[in-house]
Structure 1
């Protein structure tokens, strides 16, 4: 699920996530990869660890490079360097190659066939050679199926030069093996559980929203006054009219390119360290960091301080623009604008960055957003140079520019709490339950209302004047939005706030006592075995809901689709709902923790609720996307093909009723 708030409190959106597709196979152990490790010594202190994978014909092993959402999991290597006191020299190296079309994921992906070797160089103390313990995490696919990700551990003795595959030092008990066996429920029924879902990149959406962000930046006091000054300089100071037009257009092109280039470092980070740009929506630390940054941005817009880059940077760029002239001089003029306007554009770009990075969209989505932002800033300079008479229609600079900044400050303040809410949901802190979150938005909305009506003021506001019609209109729109939020504070049927689905915490994460812990008051079992027992007793089919606390699309399904009266009635009357949260970091009771024994003999520690249900989903359904819905009976027979994110209520209802019909015909 992706989101970006960039204009006014109630202009919100969510970008459709991409489901990752897998096929369900019969219950048989398939092991198409044979991993081996070896050691080569370069000198007394430098060693090369070599990990070689031999693949059966037709199988693909994927690169360490992260791909776009909907693609396979990358290969990862981990080492015990801190425990054994040796140093990793650079990243794990892999062969060069180009991305090829993968028929399973229907996208260009870098993968390896037949055999491939990965190399990690390390530096050790020659007097005390350590035992290196390494793990390889990987997944493989052929043209028809993908296997669940696996981890292969190695113990490597530098002293003897031997490297053997090991199941680590974790002791596996009979209880561990029994619980591992219990996790495999032996699904029967429909063959090939492929979700037939069209992928949507959302690139045009993020480009458009970045463009809107750029238009807003144009209305700030750091940028708006520059338009007539810069255009006049080009049209009157370039010698000839044609030269002036060319320079103005080049100026706009360079502005666009500068903001586009700002996203390039994130492409490097995306390939070097995918964790920076992926799966951030459930990362507690980064969500808290974004919360703090957005609060900092908000008070900057309020005028209590300015976020500026060192003045020496802009002065240096200005000097270069004057000394070079020509195309290079125009480029440095554009760069100077980007630097001196940072106090206004920085917080907006920060919103764009934070929102892109918390939607699994990665660097490419960020590039589209930056491109849209840069294009919006660039267009006025080119257009007004082509049509200079339009300058007469521009409003004069004044106090209204500061008002735009303050309004944006309130937006930043409201958006900040979404990041804190993500962290709170995943960690179960209980500090931002739904009504508290909405209450904070109400307070922020009231603050904006009081500002628009001139009751409260900020440091850079000018003298009080009669309220303009536009300001009054914005004030009444804000009042309407606050009025819309207020029922969300209650424990009534009006608390659903469908227009904001995905932003506030779910309805059941509430300060009020709820009859059930399920969405919309539905009875939802949080344990699979309990739910199956209830389904058997009630003689009803099971609706298995793989979900996540920080899954925006899950909330949209619950609050926009499940809340449809027809859908709700079918779910309540015809199904036993089992909701399993794959990102729940709450630790399991000690007697429920266990060491999951993988088919290849590896071991994975199951410590949290999310560990258990994520492994359960991948093991049984070869899928790790959310939301993911399965209809089955209590004997583990599938009743129709699983479904992913389905925003159309009629379509989802048809899917539900087809499952019920199949259950009754059994």
Structure 2
């Protein structure tokens, strides 16, 4: 390591008010936990001790260096917010060792940052930090250690990626050597610590060669192959439009609830009566719609600020988040079924109502729109809650766009009917059908809660909600819903109908048919698209499953689960490439691929013939975070599912692809991966 640069300069940390400091400390503590420690993959740490006698009271300078991967930059200690500059905290020091003054850093670069749209200070290549120490004469420098926590953030301008702030605990001997982490030593043992626990790696022996992992490249251009790097964008595009349709459908469905539907003709009539011209009525209705859109979209903005883009994936996998969503869905379901009614405080509703009636013109109409969203809370909350639950696994814009689409669909009839008032005559009259619609939604939300409870069960390892139990509970819920729609059952607050209409009969048939369709799943039969919302079959396999055709089996016995070293060794021994399935217990798209693609004969044939298979759960309690970091370092993404073809000789990445794929696309990926492996393997021999 080079001597400590002369341009190292002193840095005085700015004073921060206590309340602001506590807030920032809380945010910095929460964000890294939610997002995993991905930045560690791209930064290696080293240290050096140099004797110093230039100033009295300082006899040792301890230099800490960060080696930053090409293409990435680390924000300096004095970089302004919202970038997260390096923050080094001494957590432990021997009694006879004193840290003198502040930590100093090398001169950083300064430039405009496209990620944060401000001028920042940063390091590329290397970053040097220096501690001035006063070490007592009796201290054994070969064994005495300084404990520090280094919080840092790195970004890649070319990729447009900023990884969340990461805290790296380091233990530095006073002779300048770094001590491997305790987690790594516990994993590999003292005997192999120097080989498998090199500081800066992923604290796992299998990841010691992380710098040797190479992305597929086109010639010498240094760019990732477009056929693989674009796959994540393609899969997200399809998912986004499906989510958009879900949001619009939820908004239209919310209009049919008893709290909202009767308000449509009353509101349009109010605009017609209180405006002298038709154009004025249209403008008032438009203002009313804008108020509705602003209210719900504001909720989406709040959700995105709380969740953020980088935290979405890990938050979606959190068992606490899934437990909260399941609880909310159950409460909403019971409310829709008539057990109780969800209401906002009366004072809040009355305040907005007074503002709407006491103010004239468009300001009063705005408050009327706000009042509608509050009054209809008991009916719209289940839709809004379910929609926001669907956004947790997406990016930051999903809550905003979702609520914008929901509210636009919700407000559309008010504007449309103001333009065409005669269309009011075509609306069906309010009646008991709205209560039936609300109760039916309650059954659907109750079934949806099973999915999130299953996620909690899988991550925490309770082994209570098995696949057959989840199927059985869903069958019972859909069966009861069908009987209710047929008029064979009634809830306590209503009477049985003397007769039922065609719409109610068709809905009952649909529920009963779905319940019967799921019945073979109790005995292990695949349920195609429905399997995406059920616990993985390999967790709750049944003996009767073997009675189904060979082509329907998922060959789970071929997969080596959560053991990357064992899988690499098996692949090397077999002379085959390793296919790594980065998956999650809570990943719906992963279940969809496993149920609908992995079970097909074309895929299982290639699994057995061409590959050794490895499955890594990135949201598990034991190694989930480490596997997620390994996935990020290997593939450059934490999206689930992600599939990587790796050459076990040298552990080189051959091919990768993310997201849900069709059968043809996945078969093409497997064929290309095995073909590229042969070429890669010959080149490395």
Band the TM-score falls in, shorter-chain normalisation: 0.7 to 0.9
Q: Deviations over 1:594-644 (max 9, x none)?
A: xxxxxxxxxxxxxx2324433444455555343232334442465832222
**TM-score w.r.t. length of structure 1:** 0.72
Counterparts of residues 74-93 of structure 1 (less than 5 Å): none
1:215 aligns with 2:252: yes
Deviation at 1:455, TM superposition (A): 1.4
2:624 is matched with 610
Deviation at 1:74, TM superposition (A): 8.0
- When structure 1 is superposed on structure 2, of 440-449 and 207-216 the one drifting more is 207-216
1:380 aligns with 2:413: yes
1:498 aligns with 2:528: yes
1:650 aligns with 2:650: no
- When structure 1 is superposed on structure 2, of 369-378 and 556-565 the one drifting more is 556-565
Q: Deviations over 1:196-253 (max 9, x none)?
A: 2252355544333211111111100000001111111111233443332321222122
Aligned residues: 551
- Which of the residues 370, 394, 397 maps onto 1:360? 394
2:150 is matched with 135
In the superposition, relative to structure 1, how do residues 662 and 189 fare at CA in structure 2: closer, same or farther (>3 Å)? same
* CA–CA distance in structure 2, aligned partners of residues 399 and 98 of structure 1: 62
1:396 aligns with 2:429: yes
In the superposition, relative to structure 1, how do residues 52 and 324 fare at CA in structure 2: closer, same or farther (>3 Å)? farther
1:268 aligns with 2:305: yes
Counterparts of residues 99-498 of structure 1 (less than 5 Å): 100=114, 112=120, 114-115=122-123, 134-141=149-156, 143=158, 151-153=167-169, 170=182, 173-180=190-197, 182-183=205-206, 184-185=208-209, 186-187=212-213, 190-191=216-217, 195-198=228-231, 199=233, 200=236, 202-270=239-307, 275=311, 277-357=312-392, 359-362=393-396, 364-462=397-495, 464-491=497-524, 495-498=525-528
Instruction: Judge conservation of contact 1:54–1:115 (CA < 8 Å) in 2.
Output: no
3-state SS, counterpart of residue 532 of structure 2: coil
* CA–CA distance in structure 2, aligned partners of residues 397 and 209 of structure 1: 25
3-state SS, counterpart of residue 658 of structure 2: coil
- When structure 1 is superposed on structure 2, of 621-630 and 298-307 the one drifting more is 621-630
2:640 is matched with 626
- When structure 1 is superposed on structure 2, of 522-531 and 654-663 the one drifting more is 654-663
Unaligned stretches of 5+ residues in structure 2: 1-35, 49-63, 78-82, 92-108, 128-145, 199-204
3-state SS, counterpart of residue 305 of structure 1: coil
Question: Normalized per residue, which structure has more helix?
Answer: 2
Instruction: Judge conservation of contact 1:639–1:662 (CA < 8 Å) in 2.
Output: no
Instruction: Judge conservation of contact 1:502–1:552 (CA < 8 Å) in 2.
Output: yes
3-state SS, counterpart of residue 525 of structure 1: strand
Higher RCO structure (Cα 8 Å, ≥6 apart): 1
* CA–CA distance in structure 1, aligned partners of residues 421 and 666 of structure 2: 54
1:544 aligns with 2:580: yes
* CA–CA distance in structure 1, aligned partners of residues 574 and 416 of structure 2: 69
In the superposition, relative to structure 1, how do residues 34 and 308 fare at CA in structure 2: closer, same or farther (>3 Å)? farther
3-state SS, counterpart of residue 220 of structure 1: coil
Instruction: Judge conservation of contact 1:524–1:579 (CA < 8 Å) in 2.
Output: yes
1:11 is matched with none
In the superposition, relative to structure 1, how do residues 319 and 176 fare at CA in structure 2: closer, same or farther (>3 Å)? same
Deviation at 1:544, TM superposition (A): 2.3
Instruction: Judge conservation of contact 2:304–2:399 (CA < 8 Å) in 1.
Output: no
Instruction: Judge conservation of contact 2:554–2:594 (CA < 8 Å) in 1.
Output: yes
- When structure 1 is superposed on structure 2, of 457-466 and 575-584 the one drifting more is 457-466
Deviation at 1:369, TM superposition (A): 1.2
* CA–CA distance in structure 2, aligned partners of residues 570 and 55 of structure 1: 39
Please identify the structure whose Cα radius of gyration is greater.
2
Alignment RMSD (CA, Å)? 4.2
* CA–CA distance in structure 2, aligned partners of residues 432 and 75 of structure 1: 45
Instruction: Judge conservation of contact 2:310–2:395 (CA < 8 Å) in 1.
Output: no
* CA–CA distance in structure 1, aligned partners of residues 503 and 321 of structure 2: 38
Q: Deviations over 1:42-78 (max 9, x none)?
A: xxxxxxxxx99998996423799xxxxxxxx988979
3-state SS, counterpart of residue 644 of structure 2: strand
3-state SS, counterpart of residue 580 of structure 2: strand
Deviation at 1:545, TM superposition (A): 2.1
In the superposition, relative to structure 1, how do residues 190 and 639 fare at CA in structure 2: closer, same or farther (>3 Å)? same
* CA–CA distance in structure 1, aligned partners of residues 215 and 424 of structure 2: 69
Instruction: Judge conservation of contact 1:282–1:550 (CA < 8 Å) in 2.
Output: yes
